[in-house]
Amino acid sequence: MLSLVTAQATPLNFPNPDRGNDERLKVQAIEQTRELAIKLGLNEADYIRVKNIIFQKLIAIQEVQDTYAKNPELQKKKMQVILEDYNQQLAGALSAKQHKMYLAIASVN
């Protein structure tokens, strides 16, 4: 019985390196969403949707960077797909007016 309890408790004793990375990406998503919330006038529901979209984009970017680190050409293609998907999701989450403002902001950056 003791070995069963120990085996189940062991994973809790070791930090998960991905967990720290996820937390870092969550913080980045919050920061980026706050900026957009101010610039686009996001309400609470918009904020949550946009934050989730940004977080998923950041995770996908990190995965592509890790997976294709030794293949810059393929990495660039994969990044383009991620950004196209991100822009499409964002367009669906924002009002037409907010999306127009976002496109204006994005073209400056």
Residues 62/21, Cβ–Cβ less than 8 Å? yes
Show me where the domains of the chain are located.
19-108
- Rg (alpha carbons) of the chain, rounded to whole number: 18
Distance between CA atoms of residues 44 and 4, nearest Å: 45
Q: State pLDDT tens for residues 19-77.
A: 678 899 999 999 999 999 999 999 999 999 999 999 999 999 999 999 999 999 999 99
Within 8 A by CB and 6+ apart from 29, the residues are 51, 52, 54, 55, 58
Count of CB atoms situated within 10 Å of the CB of 58:
21
Give the pLDDT band (50/70/90) at residue 108: confident
Give the pLDDT band (50/70/90) at residue 5: very low
Assign 67 to helix, strand or coil.
helix
